[in-house]
Each structure stands twice: as structure tokens, then as C-alpha cells.
Structure 1
């Protein structure tokens, strides 16, 4: 009789332990997937911005053709930022260079009153400002998801289960450099 009770208690403990491990592992998977989905949102917003750039460059080219270096820098930076296979850190660095070159392009609007008055250019600037806001929000959401994921990986019981599962690794934060932070201060009005 005592052996049956002990066996029942051990079976219950094993079942609770198994439930605990499965629940914790599934939480880590859910958080990892949330970071991937958050990154996908950043990628969508970056692609939207990348699609605006050729039109912006073409609009500026008509008014500021002799600013060839600025226009080429934007095109080159866009090409680097749209490169395939970039990790989070490399993507952030490429986007920072692109943001800096876009800032110089936008500054051309201040130097050329005709360009600043052009409706098409103004519309593109407004769309670019909206895209920048969405990128900033998506970056904030992604970094928050990464922080939550890292906290779950590093705290108990996640740290134990992640070692047992072996499939959970840290994610990189999408850091905004000084150029991206300055770009959010630019007035497109």
C-alpha cells in the first residue's frame, strides 16, 4: 500500500515536472517567434522606405542635378541597405548610413526653393517622415520583444529549459545610431 502511494506521488511529481518543462519551453518558443515577427515588421517598413527613395532622388535630380555626389550617395546607401543576407547589426549599420544620406538629400530642399515648393517632392518627404515614424515604432516593438525574450532565457526556469532544449539563442537588438535619431528631428514641413 505504501509503495503504491509513493509510486503515485512520484508519478504526479514527474507529470508536474514534465508539464512545467513543456510550458516553459513553449513560452520560449512563443517569445522567439514574437521577435521574428517583430523583425519582419521592421523589414516591411524598411522596404517601404526603400521604395520611396528612387522617386525622391528623381524629384531632386531635376532641381539639383549638380548635387550629383549627394544623389549618388543616397542611391549607393539604398543599395547597401537592401542587400540580402544582412543580420540585424549589419542592417542597422546600413540603415544608419542611408538615413544620413537621406538627411543630406532632404537638406537640398532647403537650398533649392523650387524643389521645396514642388508638390511631388513635398509629398514624398511627408511619406518618408511617416515611414521613419513607423520604422521607429517597429524598432521599439522589436527591441522590447528581444528584451522580453532575453529575460525569459536568462531567468529561472527559462535558463534551465533553454539549456535542456538547446534551440534558443539570443537575438540582436536593432540599435538606432545618431543619424537615425537625428532624422526623426528633421522637419519636413
Structure 2
């Protein structure tokens, strides 16, 4: 009995050591890090969908008071359609081309909504509508949550990418999972530049006694 027990003990030690070695080679850490990325990506998708759901009501409300701004309203509608037409799965998070296409479409919608905000400033009757004000507040809150979700997602991606590249986790990442780096969000193009304010969109008030010809250069000077 003692001999049998002594023969079993080494095998138990070997199995335990093997399991410990495998655990240290990314068997657990890699999928754990990937699941965290997937969860954070779900939060990003949820907030982008929330924003997309707000757009039709924003456009419909704006049409009543700013019907002449057809180009901008159409741009917002088209940008929303483009953004929602791109379906990206967690498998695509390692595909640079697909991820870049998704981000570009979302950035286009962000820019279009920025144009809509500029239009609102020129229509007091639109600003006075409680429903529109509520929608704009919801949009602002959603965009804040989008920024937070993107930041959390990028942090999860950084952790995952570091895990699959560093020893000893890189062994399991390559041999068992064939892991590839995940794509992170980058800053929007022009994000480092100060926004341009175009004062020509609203007529400049005329000074007393000034004629139309004198008012035009003043407006242009203000815009520059």
C-alpha cells in the first residue's frame, strides 16, 4: 500500500506542476482578457445605438423650425444610415480595415450632429421647444457615455494586447488561441485643432446709420 501511494504521489505532483505551468502560459489569462474586451465593446455598441435612436427624432423636430436647412438635415440622416449599416462583431475587433471603417462612419455622424448644433443657434424658435431641448440633452449625455465607453474599451484592448505579447502568456496566446491584437479607437481627425466658429451663419447686427455695404466687411472680419 505504501509503495502504491508513493507511486501515485509523483504523478499527482507532475499533473499539478503541468497545470500550473499551463495556467502561467496564458491558458486562463488570455481568454479572460479577451472576454473583458468583448464586454467593453458591448458597452460601446450600446451607446452608439442609443445615439442612432435619437437622431430621427432630432431631425424630425428640427424640420419644423429649420426646414430651409435641408442639406444639413439630410447629411445627419445619411450619416446615421451609414453608421448603422456597418455591422461589426467581436471577431472583427482584430481586423484593422473593418474597425477603421466603423470608426470613420461614427465620426461622420458626430460631425453631422455638430453641424446640426450650429444650425440650432440660428433658430430661437427651435431652441424654445421643450421636446427638442430634451433630445439635445439626451444626445449630450449619450455622447459623454460614448467617450467613457470608448476609453474603457481602449483600456481593455491595451491590457489584452499586452497580455498576448508578454512572456509567458504569449506562449498560450500563440499556440492555443492564435490570438491577434485588438484594434483600439484613435482620436478623431482634427481633434487636436480648435473648432472653427463661423460667424457668417448669423447676420451681424448693423450699426446705427450703417449701410449694407459697410456691414458686409464687418461680418467678414468677424469671421476671420
The TM-score with structure 2 as length reference comes to 0.72
Which residue number corresponds to residue 12 of structure 1?
A: 13
What is the Cα-based RMSD across aligned positions, in Å?
2.5
**Counterparts in 2 of 1:76-91, with a 5 A limit?**
76-86=78-88, 87-91=98-102
Q: Partners in 1 of 2:146 and 2:71 — Cα distance?
A: 26
Where relative contact order (Cα < 8 A, 6+ residues apart) is larger, the structure is 1
Which residue number corresponds to residue 47 of structure 1?
A: 49
Q: What is the total number of aligned residue pairs between the two structures?
A: 179
Q: Partners in 2 of 1:62 and 1:102 — Cα distance?
A: 17
Change (3 A) 1:179 1:120: farther
How many Å apart are 1:178 and its aligned residue?
4.0
1:141 alignment partner, SS class: helix
Q: Which has the higher helix share?
A: 1
How many Å apart are 1:116 and its aligned residue?
1.5
Contact 1:96–1:176 under 8 Å retained in 2? no
Which residue number corresponds to residue 221 of structure 2?
A: none
| More deviation, 96-105/169-178 | 169-178
In structure 2, stretches of 5+ residues that fail to align are 1-5, 89-97, 194-224
In structure 1, stretches of 5+ residues that fail to align are 183-189
Runs of 4+ in 1 over 3 A off after TM superposition: 7-15, 178-182
**1:120 counterpart = 2:122:** no
Q: Partners in 2 of 1:131 and 1:178 — Cα distance?
A: 21
Change (3 A) 1:49 1:180: farther
How many Å apart are 1:66 and its aligned residue?
1.1
Change (3 A) 1:153 1:30: same
Change (3 A) 1:142 1:104: same
Contact 1:100–1:180 under 8 Å retained in 2? no
Change (3 A) 1:116 1:136: same
How many Å apart are 1:106 and its aligned residue?
1.0
Which residue number corresponds to residue 110 of structure 2?
A: 99
Q: Which protein has the larger Cα radius of gyration, Structure 1 or Structure 2?
A: 2
Q: Partners in 2 of 1:167 and 1:77 — Cα distance?
A: 36
Q: Partners in 2 of 1:84 and 1:91 — Cα distance?
A: 6
Q: Partners in 1 of 2:132 and 2:191 — Cα distance?
A: 21
Q: Partners in 2 of 1:64 and 1:84 — Cα distance?
A: 29
1:170 alignment partner, SS class: coil
| More deviation, 163-172/138-147 | 163-172
Q: Partners in 2 of 1:43 and 1:79 — Cα distance?
A: 15
